[in-house]
Structure 1
Amino acid sequence: MSPRPAARCLVDLSAQARLRGGAPAGPPRLRILACPPSGAAAGYWRFLVRADVHVLGVQYPGRESRFREPAAPSLGALAAEAAASVAAAPWAASDVPLVVLGHSMGAAVAAELVSALEHEHGVPVALLALSAKAAPATAERPGTSPASDDDARLRAALDPDAPGADEALVRWLRGIGGTPEAVLANPELLALLLPVLRADLRLSMSHDRLPAPVRSPLLLLRGAEDATVDAAAMDGWRALTAGPVEHREYPGGHHPLAAARDRLLDDLAACARPAGPRRAGPR
């Protein structure tokens, strides 16, 4: 029997690293389920892999192993698919604390994912960590960036038939950083990247609600020089949880997490509550 599509949406980045390096698997102190930003694939999170951490990336349709699949209709659909896969995973009932981490667009996916895990599947989450994304209720302009303060121009760039649309989108990518210049200068790679990025940005810009409230603690992350979102805008996520809320800032702009890897992992471990028993979800 072929696997359900949902089974392809989780990529075990730690297992991939062990296969490449031949290192034995040890008991992790933390399990991180990470949602990538617009245009990125699950492999965005390889920098998190460490011997004492189990890292899984959420793979959205339209990239890597899911290249031929159409874009999801909504961020909620992405989260529901990932939540079903997590609930069915053998490690979901283990006592290793589960941290759900999302960056930029992935932060909105992560919030929806934790809500679905708690409310629909009874899977406890030790920490929800959201990076570089304002809560929908703060009315953040999603296209604001160092390269352009005009959200209308970014929206126009989402139409592939508009004159200069590709060039405008490349300028936006260059402005927020995080994409290698070798990719931005390669027409063949851009032909693969830009359609996926446009689909993701449409989903991100149309996402205008908070999910049902969660029980997990909340950690809000941003780069100290990130012009796309400030700490006050991110603070709108407080309405999502009745649990404790903490902030961390790292040096850098919109993509600061890789350079702060060890500090980030320490912050995630420190803010995660101990793993609890799995609750029975609705049937």
Structure 2
Amino acid sequence: MVACYPSTPWIIPPPKRFDAPLRLFCFPPAGAGALLFRPWLTYSSPEIELFVIQLPGREHRLKEPCFTELAPLIKALTAAMIPSLEPGKFAFFGHSMGALIAFELTRELRRQGLVLPEYLFVCGRRAPQIPIDNPLYTQNESILIEALRQYGGTPEAVLQNSDLMELFLPIFRSDLTLNETYQYQSELPLEVPIAIFGAMNDPVATPEQFEQWKQQTSGAFELKLFEGGHMFFKDDPKLLLKPIFERLNCRL
């Protein structure tokens, strides 16, 4: 395809340009930024390129306010992403809060009559129609820090650094607010295949809650479970990239 790389703070393209026939857009979980996916970028190939979504309020967008409601975020993100979706085929991957964003972004593209992703890969989040019954966003800082400890992925030295937590916790709380106050609205299932990846010991959601994603597609559906907790893939991106590339008929 004749491609142009995005010129927007919302999207970080791969370090090398391949003009691959398929793009995989990656959406981060609560509190995280594009750096979470930096190890993934080394797997860009002539067949598939990884583009990372950078939300406001973190890393190079630190001075921008975080969103605390999903609807305005989806509106802004859709407008920013449309030019990057036009050149050819694409797929979405989202973890935890990122799974919800990827899902609602796909529904918004459908509402606007725009091209939809080839595949929707979601990870580490209960199906969107299941309300979150144990919200954290109103809890005090010590409870939020303990939640991060249970999720895994944040070094203990960081959790015990008061200066870093003073910077990070407001971002995390804003993202939790967005994720936990989300109000699901019923629509027709997507005509997009969905694969849900989850961990057996995830404190955020159960295998039964992962399974309910099947209600959101009229196409193919698959649930793949892994050992570990919420951030089971952080130290080994291939755990997820291998099944994703396989389902997109690309080589890793």
Deviation, structure 1 residue 79: 2.4
Partner residue in 1 for 2:92: 100
RMSD: 2.3
**d(CA) in 1 for partners of 2:170 and 2:239?**
34
Tell me if the contact between 1:138 and 1:233 (Cα under 8 Å) persists in the aligned partners.
yes
Pick which of 190-199 and 257-266 moved more. 257-266
**d(CA) in 1 for partners of 2:172 and 2:243?**
30
SS of the residue 1:136 aligns to: coil
Q: Which AA in structure 1 matches 2:53?
A: V
Overall identity of the aligned pairs, in %: 28
1:269 aligns with 2:245: yes
Deviation, structure 1 residue 210: 4.8
Tell me if the contact between 2:191 and 2:219 (Cα under 8 Å) persists in the aligned partners.
yes
**d(CA) in 2 for partners of 1:138 and 1:222?**
16
Deviation, structure 1 residue 109: 0.6
Tell me if the contact between 1:115 and 1:211 (Cα under 8 Å) persists in the aligned partners.
no
Match of 1:84 among 76, 79, 101: 79
CA offsets 1:138-197 (integer angstroms, 9 cap, x no match): 2343xxxxxxxxx36x3442xxxxxxx222211111111111222112111111100011
**Higher Cα radius of gyration:** 1
223 and 69 in structure 1: CA distance in 2 versus 1, 3 angstrom threshold: same
Partner residue in 2 for 1:74: 69
1:136 aligns with 2:120: no
Alignment of 1:134-173 (within 5 A): 134-141=126-133, 151=134, 154-157=136-139, 165-173=140-148
264 and 29 in structure 1: CA distance in 2 versus 1, 3 angstrom threshold: farther
Partner residue in 1 for 2:4: none
**d(CA) in 1 for partners of 2:18 and 2:8?**
24
Partner residue in 1 for 2:60: 65
Tell me if the contact between 1:105 and 1:133 (Cα under 8 Å) persists in the aligned partners.
yes
Deviation, structure 1 residue 43: 1.9
Higher helix share: 1
Alignment of 1:225-240 (within 5 A): 225-240=201-216
Matched residue pairs, number? 240
TM (norm. structure 1) is 0.77
Partner residue in 2 for 1:255: 231
1:32 aligns with 2:27: no
**d(CA) in 2 for partners of 1:211 and 1:83?**
20
CA offsets 1:12-43 (integer angstroms, 9 cap, x no match): 2x12xx4xxxxxx3353642111111111122
Tell me if the contact between 1:217 and 1:272 (Cα under 8 Å) persists in the aligned partners.
no
CA offsets 1:75-126 (integer angstroms, 9 cap, x no match): 232222222222112xx2334x412111111111110111122332512311
**d(CA) in 1 for partners of 2:11 and 2:113?**
17
**d(CA) in 1 for partners of 2:229 and 2:246?**
24
SS of the residue 1:216 aligns to: coil
- Gaps spanning 5+ residues in structure 1: where? 1-5, 19-24, 142-150, 158-164, 275-283
Partner residue in 2 for 1:178: 153
TM (norm. structure 2) is 0.85
Deviation, structure 1 residue 260: 4.2
- Gaps spanning 5+ residues in structure 2: where? 1-6
SS of the residue 1:108 aligns to: helix
**d(CA) in 2 for partners of 1:123 and 1:221?**
24
1:113 aligns with 2:105: yes
Q: Which AA in structure 1 matches 2:115?
A: V
CA offsets 1:235-264 (integer angstroms, 9 cap, x no match): 222222211111112221101123442242
**d(CA) in 2 for partners of 1:214 and 1:140?**
22
Alignment of 1:196-235 (within 5 A): 196-210=171-185, 212=187, 213-235=189-211
Q: Which AA in structure 2 matches 1:228?
A: V
227 and 72 in structure 1: CA distance in 2 versus 1, 3 angstrom threshold: closer
1:41 aligns with 2:33: yes
